């Protein structure tokens, strides 16, 4: 029974047509970085950053699979659903709650309990969304010349820098 569940996905890969995805290497890279972060024992908030990046990359990837538009904002809805269905079930595993003090609210200020992991996963998704724009700007600055694997380098280096900053701060 277990062999059927393993063999079926492997066989199905041979019957797939070429998929034009957002960036399969970025998706795999973000997932591998999250797994590496867990293995290295880094903060849950940093792991949430990489999970958010992975979820956004998967959402962008899956949104390109359906070629025909059936409803308005179809791609956006697919990205949101994939992001939420990836991040939401993992929340109990990497949830980190902490304070957010707003001194300008009220006479003595107000403190809210904030889930840092949710904010971090949303920031990871934002990094993946903004990486293609940064890549285009860099290509324009370099007069149309691209570096090899430029998009992957920008995405992963931005995630690693952000993760390092979060690790030190949290």
Q: What is the pLDDT of residues 99-136, one digit of tens each?
A: 888 888 888 889 989 899 899 999 999 999 998 888 88
Buried/exposed code over 100-130 (b: 16+ C-beta within 10 A; e: otherwise): eeeeeeeeeeeeeeeebbbbbbbbbbebbee
For residue 161, what pLDDT is reported?
Answer: 93
Q: Binning pLDDT at 50, 70 and 90, where does residue 16 land?
A: very low
Query: What is each CA distance from 139 to 24, 134, 135, 143, 149, in whole angstroms?
Result: 21, 9, 6, 6, 12
For residue 31, what pLDDT is reported?
Answer: 66
Give percent of the chain above pLDDT 90. Answer: 20
What's the whole-number mean pLDDT along residues 1-26?
A: 49
For residue 67, what is the DSSP state? -
pLDDT over 70 (residue 19):
no
Please tell me the pTM assigned to this model.
Answer: 0.73
For residue 93, what pLDDT is reported?
Answer: 76
Give percent of the chain above pLDDT 70. Answer: 82
Would you tell me how many other CB atoms lie within 10 Å of the CB of residue 66? 11
For residue 127, what pLDDT is reported?
Answer: 93
The whole-chain average pLDDT of the chain stands at 81
What's the whole-number mean pLDDT along residues 143-168?
A: 88
Q: Residue 45's closest CA among 101, 119, 131?
A: 119
Q: Binning pLDDT at 50, 70 and 90, where does residue 24 land?
A: low
E strand intervals along 89-132: 97-102, 110-115
Mode of pairing for the β-strands spanning 110-115 and 97-102:
antiparallel
Largest CA distance in the chain: 65
Strand partners, 113: 99
């Amino acid at each position: 029974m277990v062999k059927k569940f393993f063999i079926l996905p492997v066989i199905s890969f041979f019957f797939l047509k070429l998929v034009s995805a957002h960036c399969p290497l970025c998706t795999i890279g973000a997932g591998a970085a999250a797994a590496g972060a867990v293995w290295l024992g880094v903060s849950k908030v940093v792991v949430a950053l990489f999970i958010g990046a992975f979820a956004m990359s998967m959402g962008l990837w899956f949104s390109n699979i359906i070629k025909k538009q059936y409803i308005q904002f179809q791609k956006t809805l697919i990205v949101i659903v994939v992001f939420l269905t990836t991040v939401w079930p993992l929340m109990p595993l990497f949830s980190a709650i902490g304070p957010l003090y707003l001194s300008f609210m009220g006479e003595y200020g107000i403190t809210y309990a904030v889930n840092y992991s949710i904010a971090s996963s949303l920031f990871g998704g934002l990094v993946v969304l903004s990486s293609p724009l940064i890549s285009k700007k860099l290509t324009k600055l370099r007069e149309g010349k691209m570096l090899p694997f430029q998009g992957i380098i920008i995405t992963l280096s931005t995630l690693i820098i952000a993760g390092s900053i979060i690790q030190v701060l949290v």
